[in-house]
Amino acid sequence: MTLPAEVIERIADELAEADRTHGVVPRITARYPDATIEDSYAIQGIWRDKNLAAGRTLVGRKIGLTSKAMQQATGITEPDYGVMFDDTVYPSGSEIRFDDFSNVRIEVELAFVLKEPLEGPDCTLEDALAAIDYAVPALEVLNSHIELEGRTIVDTISDNAAYGAMVLGDVHMRPDEIDLRWVPGVLSRNGEIEETGVAAGVLGHPATGVAWLANKFHQHGARLEAGEVILAGSFTRPMWVHKGDEVRCDYREMGVITCRFV
């Protein structure tokens, strides 16, 4: 790490206040050009631990920037991850308060629930598939508290990988019941199709990101635990939404997710 501990703590507090007020702060890399990825995960970690201390419950992890579509949309070429708390999970059909988020966008993803722990350092796609209980379609609500223009992966990771919320579908399928690479997503806003894609756009197979995350965690002496939800990354570009928008995504065999921003 290059940033002093007091600077890391101060930035974590800034982001916590931006989360509380639904505001946006200047880019970290504009103020601290030498900040590293290790600094950004340290910032995220302090923010996470303060939320846990305040009584929130961690339910899983999100992986981001795993597809060419997302990497091209952000100009960032390395995956990242953040944490998800139980009060950010919505069922399909939910009404979601638009003003609870900043820079609100939607991404099309699959989520995986683990039936057993998963640990690196040499975790493979096959290992990940064996550890997954089931897959479920999901929409991710992006929530960015750092100005978007010019941001780097350091900015994104510090901001909990821009995670805001997750809308889960109703259809659960085991990895041996469906070829997960070919799960489609047809994303509509107010009845008009805006984005389409297939899950193979995420690292060739959407569960590859789960293996990547297990190996990444091993570097920090940690592992993924049974029961955790892993949001595997978007296979479409992010779609901007506004208050009043109706969102619908059709995953074919895996059903349809809807939500509305109020």
Q: Which of 73-77, 125-129, 176-180 has the lowest mean pLDDT?
A: 73-77
Two structure tokens written together for 35: 């900040």
DSSP 83: E
Q: Does residue 59 register a pLDDT over 70?
A: yes
Task: Give the pLDDT mean for 152-178.
Answer: 96
Q: What is the pLDDT of residues 128-159, one digit of tens each?
A: 999 999 999 999 999 999 999 998 999 999 99
Count of CB atoms situated within 10 Å of the CB of 107: 30
* Domain-wise residue ranges, the chain: 5-261
Domain 5-261 = CATH 3.90.850.10: yes
Question: Measured between alpha carbons, how far is 82 from 209 in angstroms, rounded to an integer?
Answer: 13
DSSP string, 151-197: --HHHHHHTGGGEEEEEE-S--B-TTTS-GGG-EEEEEETTEEEEEE
Q: Which pLDDT band, with edges at 50, 70 and 90, does 75 fall under? A: low
DSSP string, 103-124: S-EEEEEEEEEESS-B--SS--
pTM of the model: 0.94
Q: What is the pLDDT of residues 186-219, one digit of tens each?
A: 999 999 999 999 999 999 999 999 999 999 899 8
pLDDT of residue 113: 98
Q: Which pLDDT band, with edges at 50, 70 and 90, does 120 fall under? A: very high
Contacts for 106 with CB less than 8 Å, ≥ 6 apart:
139, 140, 141, 142, 187, 238, 239, 241, 247
